[in-house]
């Protein structure tokens, strides 16, 4: 099974894209020359000898319909969860914060299904969405694309394409309209989550303002794990401090993963909190500084959030 490894501001993912590739003619040129994805019975980069040497897009799309996520039995789901968790293991697998499956998504788009590092399903991931945009450029030369997620349709476009296959690019993605939601009534009375703002960016986040000293505390991961466990189903946590230049420094703890170098939807959640509070200046696009890099968040007049930042394809290979 062929895979690609990509990262956005240090938030890294394993991509499986055979279904998406099967729906494109292999004669297509990519930004790097002739088609790079391994073809059946051939080498990577080899063009097919004739029309019969590859499946037609209609046939591949029909195959995709027969393997939807919702059709899986509980046994299938558990097997997939365990397989993804093993592949994402840092020391015994490929290693990643999550796995992403790209498949045909209609006449002019792609379907993206996301799994956290522990194998659990995720409805949305901002950096995975941006990395998917870079992969589609890498494979097909697409500068923009429609991507369908479990949180709805999203748009991605390359603001700055890479100069070589492994070079850094800047990719922008739309992430819908964030919204505040009420925390669960079951929260413990003295929990710090009582002070958090709960924000949905297609997935749930709890945003907490902390002191610079607490932000760098080595005990923060343990605290974050306890806070997330107090929410039924878990929650992504963002701890932030505001800087003099209007940027925010953030540490993020993702459910199903743990602390990550960056989180795209988490960056949007923090920026949305600052926008709505109106107490921290009107700096937009807002720069969100995370351990893996800087992400920028802006909003349209109707409240749509847009996330941009660095992305890079690290390597590709075959899973034995």
- Which residues are designated catalytic? 125, 263
Q: From the CB of residue 8, how many other CB atoms can be counted at a distance below 10 Å?
A: 33
Task: Give ∠ CA 96-101-103 in degrees, rounded to 5.
Answer: 160
HSE-CB for 224 with a 13 A CA cutoff:
29
Q: Is the dihedral of CA 35, 38, 43, 44 positive or negative?
A: positive
Do β-strands 204-209 and 236-242 pair in parallel, antiparallel, or remain unpaired?
Answer: parallel
**Best CA proximity match to 313, nearest among 100, 95, 14, 36:** 14
Contact predicate 238/199, CB 8 Å: no
In 217-300 the beta strands, taken as DSSP E runs, fall at: 236-242, 248-254, 258-260, 286-290, 293-299
Residue among 158, 108, 153, 164 at smallest CA distance from 131: 158
Helix axes 126-140, 264-277, angle to 10 degrees: 130
């Amino acid at each position: 099974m062929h895979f690609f490894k990509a990262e956005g501001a240090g938030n890294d993912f394993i991509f499986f894209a055979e279904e998406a590739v099967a729906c494109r003619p292999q004669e297509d040129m990519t930004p790097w020359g002739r088609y790079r994805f391994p073809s059946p019975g051939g080498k990577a980069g080899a063009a097919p000898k004739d029309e019969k040497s590859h499946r037609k897009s209609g046939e591949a799309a029909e195959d995709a319909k027969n393997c939807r996520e919702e059709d899986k039995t509980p046994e299938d789901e558990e097997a997939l969860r365990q397989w993804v968790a093993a592949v994402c293991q840092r020391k015994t697998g490929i290693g990643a914060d999550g796995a992403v499956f790209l498949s045909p998504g209609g006449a002019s788009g792609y379907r993206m299904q996301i799994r956290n590092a522990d194998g659990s399903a995720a409805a949305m991931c901002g950096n995975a969405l941006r990395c998917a945009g870079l992969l589609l450029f890498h494979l097909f030369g697409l500068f923009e694309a429609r991507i369908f997620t479990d949180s709805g349709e999203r748009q991605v476009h390359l603001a700055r394409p890479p100069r070589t296959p492994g070079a850094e690019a800047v990719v922008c993605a739309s992430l819908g309209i964030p919204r505040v939601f009420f925390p669960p009534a079951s929260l413990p009375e003295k929990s710090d989550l009582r002070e958090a703002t709960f924000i949905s960016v297609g997935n749930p986040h709890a945003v907490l303002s902390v002191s610079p000293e607490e932000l760098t505390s080595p005990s923060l991961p343990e605290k974050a794990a306890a806070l997330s466990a107090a929410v039924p189903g878990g929650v992504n946590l963002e701890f932030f401090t505001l800087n003099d230049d209007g940027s925010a420094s953030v540490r993020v703890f993702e459910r199903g993963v743990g602390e990550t170098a960056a989180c795209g939807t988490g960056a949007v959640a923090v920026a949305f909190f600052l926008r709505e509070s109106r107490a921290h200046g009107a700096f937009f696009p807002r720069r969100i500084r995370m351990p893996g890099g800087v992400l920028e968040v802006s909003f349209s007049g109707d409240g749509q959030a847009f996330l941009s930042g660095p992305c890079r394809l690290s390597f590709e290979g075959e899973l034995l």
